[in-house]
Amino acid sequence: MRDDFCLSDSSSDSAFNIVKVIFIALTKSSKKITIKNKRCCIMKKDIKVGIFQLDSSFERLDENIEFIKNIVQETMDEVDLFVLGELFNTGYEMDKIKNRAKNFKDVLKEFKTLTKETSTAFVCGSFGEIENSNLYNTSYFISCGNVLEKYRKIHLFSLTGEDKHFSSGSSIKTFSFLGWDIGLSICYDLRFPEMYRVMREDGIDLILLPANWPVIRKDHWLTLSKARAIENQVYMVSINRTGNDNNIDFGGNSVVYSPWGEKLLQMDKSQRFDIIKMSKEVINETRSKLDSFLDRRKDLYKF
């Protein structure tokens, strides 16, 4: 078990209360969060992100959970943050999403337990959750057994009727982890650059985008992911799924771009796990070379 950013079992009550108070405050604000206890959150110039590309069909849930747990056990001392794909526990079948969303707290409990036992951190892709009879497509950030942030998908894909089943989220979310400011987004959000401009205003270093993106639009997937990295001068991690649901062939090709737009990783269509290293030095160097963000004409447009 690692203890560089997690509270250990022997941590004081006061340290636990710091986390608790921040979490309570977070529920009342959309601002990013930084945990103020040095054992919860240290500053790291370099981080390693572990990316799961799964065939997230409904029938494969147990197999996928076992795969995830095995990978975590093998790599937990190396990886700072694990990330999963969109709707990783159901696939893209609406009736199954709705049915499993009724028990979404079971999913939360499983990952809270996993991250606590292994002293790890996860952005749990996304899964369906129900609140006040509304169905949301939600991404959770969980660290060492604590839910520290969640983002509900804002842009719903009307072409496949998402807007008829899901309720839309109402706020853009960023959070701080190990000194890195990270933006959360989901799938169709990728087509809306204004959202990422708001994140950049908030000082993000890294964007995470779990998705269910079909292979027929693979070129859009790669081009838009690269564009979001270049225009915001951030690392862009786009996590897709593989497999087939409802006669939709999902494209895999999870991809990572540097702030300069260099392709650092591109997966194939198989189920797999990869680790990518990111550096604050690369971000700073990119922005020092050409910081177009400073040359915007905000008097003519605003986001």
Q: Tens digits of per-residue pLDDT, 36-89?
A: 333 345 899 999 999 999 999 888 889 999 999 999 999 999 999 999 999 999
> What percent of the chain lies above the pLDDT cut of 90?
73
Tell me if 254 sits within 8 A of 238, measured CB to CB: yes
CA distance 48 to 275: 6
- CATH code of the domain made up of 47-290: 3.60.110.10
pLDDT for the residue numbered 185: 99
pLDDT for the residue numbered 6: 63
Rounded alpha-carbon distances, angstroms, from residue 77 to 24, 49, 211, 258, 274: 29, 12, 27, 24, 14
pTM reported for the whole predicted model: 0.87
pLDDT for the residue numbered 16: 35
Q: Tens digits of per-residue pLDDT, 107-142?
A: 899 999 999 999 999 999 999 999 999 999 999 999
Q: What's the rounded mean pLDDT across residues 173-196? A: 98
Tell me if 195 sits within 8 A of 154, measured CB to CB: yes
Nearest to 88 by CA among 46, 118, 66, 60: 60
Residue 164 has pLDDT above 50, yes or no: yes
Tell me if 219 sits within 8 A of 229, measured CB to CB: no
239 bridge partner residues = 210
